[in-house]
Structure 1
Amino acid sequence: MSGKRIWKNVGRYALRFVTLLIAISIVSFVLVSLSPVDPVQQYVGAVPNVSMEQREKIAEYWGLDKPPLERFFLWAGSILHGDFGTSLIYRRPVLDIIGEKFLASLALMLTAWAFSGILGFTIGCIMGNFHGKWPDKILKKLCLTMCSIPTFWIGIVFLMLFSVQLGWFPMGMSVPKGLPADQVTIWQRIHHLILPALTLSFLSFANIALHTREKLVDVLESDYVLFARARGESRFQVLRRHGLRNILLPAVTMQFGSFSELFGGSVLAENVFSYPGLGAAAAAAGMGSDIPLLLGITLFSAVFVFVGNLLANIICSIADPQIREGFDHET
């Protein structure tokens, strides 16, 4: 690929990125502005002795007394200068909260991402390799069932089974309750991470498994695989020599494309397990009408999903010359 083509692709992705952020900013701000929840009332809570003058001062301090269009341009101007505002709930800058919460969520999402990829790819290979037989039928029904089950329900079931009844895992949180952060061991963090990560992985592993199954069935029914079987190659030799190399790329593409599902599912999983991540902060911001934090997390999630999809495209273009050629000639 020539240098001119590289810069052309970079410019195209940069234009898409900027356009996406502008669209997300406008849509999210309009939706927040149309919310029936009064931010001032949410801020003062149940305090009965707040006068109308004090409410007006609070609204003026947060800029809520201005028209929506003026508020949007003030907020957008602050964003361009790197100021995402101050959270009404945490009383801290929004960027500080996003950075702190995202580290916890990143560990959860990466673990769930690895679980879903390994589990989904393995089950997909088993189903495709035993196409039409009882392992394929049982696992396919299981995957179709998992696609329709909500994440929060799976989390509640896991809590009841593995935490309450069996006692294998803690009830929630990312660290033991009441233990100072400098005394928490790596094993304790992993112990608290496994159950919510496993719950979150169930959000996308079934789709990966079903997608891998379909691709593997297509490969195993091809002429060159039939010829390999005629030469005496066993089922697992065919899978290792011909199947895996042809289904790995589609599986990787779908795995990177599942970033958006993981980010959305983390909101439910973190609330079920009281995990102090970005998803729990987004839910708290929505319930508490914390507009600066909610808008900041919305923009950050858009960046996160865009980067995940971009990584998938880059990996596919590196691994498959035909895809790279298609990107080069894209207009």
Structure 2
Amino acid sequence: MRYAFWLTPQDSGRTRHEFYGMAVAPGIAAGLHCSYEDAADLAWAQRIWRSLDRAVNTLQPVPGAPRPGRSAPEPRLPAMAPSRPFAVVLALVLAGPAAAGCHHEDTATARASAAALVAQVPLTGPGFPPDAATAKARLAALKVEWGRNWQTYRREEFGRYWSDETDAVGGRNGCDTRDDVLRRDLTELREGDRNRCVVLSGVLLDPYTGKRLPYTYRRASQIQTDHVVALGAAWRAGAYTWTPQRRLEYANDLDVLLAVDKQTNQDKGSRTADKWRPPRRAYWCEYARRYTGIKAKYALSVTAPEKRALQEMLAGCPQ
């Protein structure tokens, strides 16, 4: 199931609420596109589609569905009839919205609409990472204190798996967070024809080491997704006070994430800037800019040694 919601400014000055959903199951590929100026109507469409999502997962699981935390395979439509319960649910759900400002799209149109949504959601926040001067100013404004509540940290506090259901950078575009990171960070990129979210192949020029790392879909690779300010470090710096949704947003914010060398990421762990720096010295400046930008964006504190380390790396940035 894929569904997403977004806002489109109108020439009249009003805001049009757009809703797009796509269902893929054995024998079925259905798309639904709605356009409203009334937010209440949009909320109704959202409830309808989420009901379909629950029905699909309950009555007719998609064969080959990924394990939690893994990227979804490209949708394939086997030559078989859908189960009767699923067909009934789909017919009921699509019939209602069709009479109220929505239209049902065929498979090709639905895929084109999904691809357009993927393309229009930016994978980098505005002004991120900050330039060196901005990063220095933001670093100076951060609260300095020792980390707290380190003993209560659990990875699950930030969500068990990747989630597209957040308002963070890259959220609600219908793609797995890791796929978004790969699409942004890899070169020589080849995306799926049927599912533009899926990266079939590419090459990572690892920022931490300078290594050239190939990537091929469904094959083991030496690429991992790193939280530049690790989840454990964020927890100690203030995330322990956040709501679960805020922590989920942080864990899936593309500004917080980088595709990097697997072994180097494991060596880094949850260590802060005073205890770990990228092996590739040429990346220190950008690393400190990203790190500081994340701390400022989420109002996280820094320790005194951490602040000094960031100041040293920022001092090496080109003037």
Structure 2 length normalisation: TM-score? Answer: 0.22
**Higher strand fraction (1 or 2):** 2
The answer to which structure has the higher helix fraction is 1
Structure with the larger RCO, 1 or 2 (CA within 8 Å, 6+ apart)? 1
TM (norm. structure 1) is 0.22
Higher Cα Rg, which structure: 1
